[in-house]
Structure 1
Amino acid sequence: MASTCGSFPDIKNQWARLFVESLANEGVITGFPNRTFRPDTSVTRAEFAVIIAKTFTKLKKKRDYIRFIDVPTHHWAAKAIQTAYAIGFLNEFPNNRFFPDNRISRVEVLVTLVKGLDIASKVKPEELATLQVIYQDTDQIPDYAMTDVAIATSAGLVASYPNTKLLKPNIPATRADVAVSVYQALLFLGEVQKIPSDYLVVAPQPQTELEHKS
Structure 2
Amino acid sequence: MGKFISSLSLIFLIPGFSVAAYAEDQNRLQQPYLVNMEREQKQNLPLPDFKDVGVEEEQPQDSAQSSKAIKRVVTAKLMTNFSDGNFYAEKLMSRAELAAIMVKTFGLDKRQVTDKDVQVADVPSSHWAYKDIQTVLKTEIMQGYRGNLFFPNQRVTRAEGLAIFAQAYGVFQFSDDTVAEILSQYSDKESIPNWARKAVATVITEGFIDSWQPQLSPLKPMTRGDMAYVLSQYLERQQPQPDTPIVPGGSVNPQPGL
TM-score tier after normalising by the smaller chain length: 0.7 to 0.9
Amino acid at match of 1:22: R
* Partner-residue secondary structure (3-state), 2:172: helix
Q: List alignment gaps of at least 5 residues for structure 1.
A: 195-214
Amino acid at match of 2:140: G
TM-superposed deviation, 1:134: 1.5
Partner of 2:158: 106
**1:36, 1:22 → 2: CA distance?**
14
Contact 2:182 2:205 in 1 (8 A): no
Deviations 1:25-77 (A, max 9, x none): 12221111211110011010001111112222265235665221110111111
Partner of 2:223: 174
Partner of 1:54: 104
**2:53, 2:135 → 1: CA distance?**
21
Q: Percent identity?
A: 25
CA shift in 2, pair 1:149/1:12, >3 Å: closer
Query: Of the candidates 218, 222, 233, which is equivalent to residue 184 of structure 1?
Result: 233
Contact 2:78 2:101 in 1 (8 A): yes
Q: Which has the larger radius of gyration?
A: 2
**1:107, 1:128 → 2: CA distance?**
15
List 4+ stretches of structure 1 deviating above 6 A. 123-126
TM-superposed deviation, 1:18: 1.2
Query: Of the candidates 196, 201, 225, which is equivalent to residue 150 of structure 1?
Result: 201
CA shift in 2, pair 1:192/1:66, >3 Å: farther
CA shift in 2, pair 1:191/1:37, >3 Å: same
- TM-score, with length taken from structure 1: 0.76
**1:186, 1:86 → 2: CA distance?**
25
**1:105, 1:171 → 2: CA distance?**
5
The more displaced of 129-138 and 42-51 is 129-138
Q: Which has the higher contact order (CA 8 A, sep 6+)?
A: 2
CA shift in 2, pair 1:151/1:91, >3 Å: same
Whether 2:130 is the aligned partner of 1:78: answer yes
Deviations 1:144-187 (A, max 9, x none): 21222112211222237xx6111000111000101111233344
Q: List alignment gaps of at least 5 residues for structure 2.
A: 1-48, 242-258
